[in-house]
């Protein structure tokens, strides 16, 4: 059985703890939503699962019950202690940040995963969501998919269309590497304490092959391109780049936000 809201509150109260705003701690307690996330991830016995921000272990325990091999990473030492007490040697627990330097995965996690296929299944801390999702999509091809709860605003960016305000670097970087599906929308009342924003669950299913040769270079190109999102391509990239690329549908008068993900991937191969 999953932890109830009463149990989550008690686990913290017994230790004199409260949710910490600086870590963005909002505990997902709606069991129907948690099951929806697990079902979308199709977690089966023997699957290797990375969970970031396990909190008191509500989702962690459900993953273990489904037979998953769980590697959990928790930045808050108090919460890490709760997870360790409840699950002991049934999981591998890393205490620290999920990311290392230069937006790479924590080296301890990389070593534990050791190139094996894995899924990310997590109620992600909001501040870690975008860099972690990008890092896994671009640089960890053994990650087959990400099934996560994030801010609805971030989910909207992942699913945004060209020409819209939400369309930008995160959209392009993730969508170049994966197919995105919105699993559902969660009201603030699904969490304790209730956040000030609405959340969403998304499935990010990684493509078998990346469409670019150098993922890091591609990410830099996209970020640089969108620092001048209102500037015409002929001015920001130079007409020689566009002439060299000769991509149908792209002309110097267009702005970056008008291009499709596929066009940007092709254009990046010709940019310096």
DSSP for 9-59 reads HHHHHTTT----GGGT--EE--HHHHHHHHHHHT--TT-EEEEE--TTTHH
Output the pLDDT for position 101. Answer: 79
CA distance 136 to 219: 13
* Domain range list for the chain: 5-206, 215-268
- pLDDT for residue 230: 86
Q: Which of 196, 182, 263 is nearest to 225 (CA)?
A: 263
User: Residue 239 has what pLDDT?
Assistant: 87
Burial class (CB in 10 A: 0-12, 13-18, 19+), 34: buried
CA distance 225 to 216: 14
According to the model, what pLDDT value does residue 272 have? 63
Q: H or E element: which one contains 168?
A: none
> Which overall architecture, per CATH, does domain 215-268 show?
Orthogonal Bundle (1.10)
d(CA 27, CA 195): 10
The pLDDT score that the predictor gives to residue 245 is 83
> Which pTM does this prediction carry?
0.95
**199 secondary structure, DSSP code:** E
List the beta bridge partners of residue 48.
69
For residues 222 and 267, give the distance between their C-alpha atoms in angstroms, rounded to a whole number.
10
Separation CA 73–CA 89 (nearest Å):
14
Give the pLDDT confidence score for residue 241 in this predicted structure.
85
Nearest to 206 by CA among 147, 159, 261: 147
Those residues whose C-beta lies under 8 Å from the C-beta of residue 193, and which sit 6 or more positions away, are 19, 26
- 5-206 shares its CATH topology with 215-268: no
Residue-level pLDDT, tens digit, the chain, 272 residues? 899 999 999 999 999 999 998 888 999 999 999 999 999 999 999 999 999 999 999 999 999 999 999 999 999 999 999 999 999 999 999 999 999 977 789 999 999 999 999 999 999 998 899 999 999 999 999 999 999 999 999 999 999 999 999 999 999 999 999 999 999 999 999 999 999 999 999 999 999 999 999 999 999 999 999 998 889 999 998 888 888 888 889 989 999 999 999 999 999 998 86
Tokens of 2: 């999953």
**What CATH code would you report for 5-206?**
3.40.50.150
């Amino acid at each position: 059985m999953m932890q109830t809201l009463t149990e989550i509150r008690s686990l913290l109260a017994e230790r004199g703890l409260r949710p910490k705003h600086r870590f963005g701690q909002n505990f997902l307690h709606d069991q129907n939503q948690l099951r929806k996330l697990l079902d979308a991830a199709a977690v089966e016995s023997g699957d290797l699962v990375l969970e970031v921000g396990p909190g008191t272990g509500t989702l962690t325990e459900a993953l273990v019950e489904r037979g998953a091999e769980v590697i959990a990473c928790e930045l808050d030492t108090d919460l890490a202690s709760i997870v360790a007490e409840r699950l002991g040697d049934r999981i591998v627990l890393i205490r620290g940040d999920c990311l290392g330097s230069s937006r790479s995965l924590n080296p301890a996690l990389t070593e534990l995963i050791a190139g094996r296929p894995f899924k990310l299944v997590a109620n992600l801390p909001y501040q870690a969501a975008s860099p972690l999702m990008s890092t896994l999509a671009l640089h960890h091809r053994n990650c087959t998919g990400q099934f996560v709860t994030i801010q609805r605003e971030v989910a909207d960016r992942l699913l945004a269309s060209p020409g819209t305000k939400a369309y930008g670097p995160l959209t392009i970087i993730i969508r170049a590497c994966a197919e995105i599906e919105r699993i559902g929308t969660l009201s603030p009342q699904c969490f304790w304490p209730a956040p000030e924003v609405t959340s969403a669950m998304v499935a990010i299913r990684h493509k078998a092959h990346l469409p670019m040769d150098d993922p890091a270079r591609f990410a830099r190109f996209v970020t640089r391109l969108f620092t001048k999102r209102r500037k015409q391509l002929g001015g920001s990239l130079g007409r020689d780049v566009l002439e060299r690329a000769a991509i149908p549908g792209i002309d110097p008068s267009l702005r970056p936000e008008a291009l499709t993900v596929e066009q940007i991937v092709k254009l990046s191969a010709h940019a310096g």
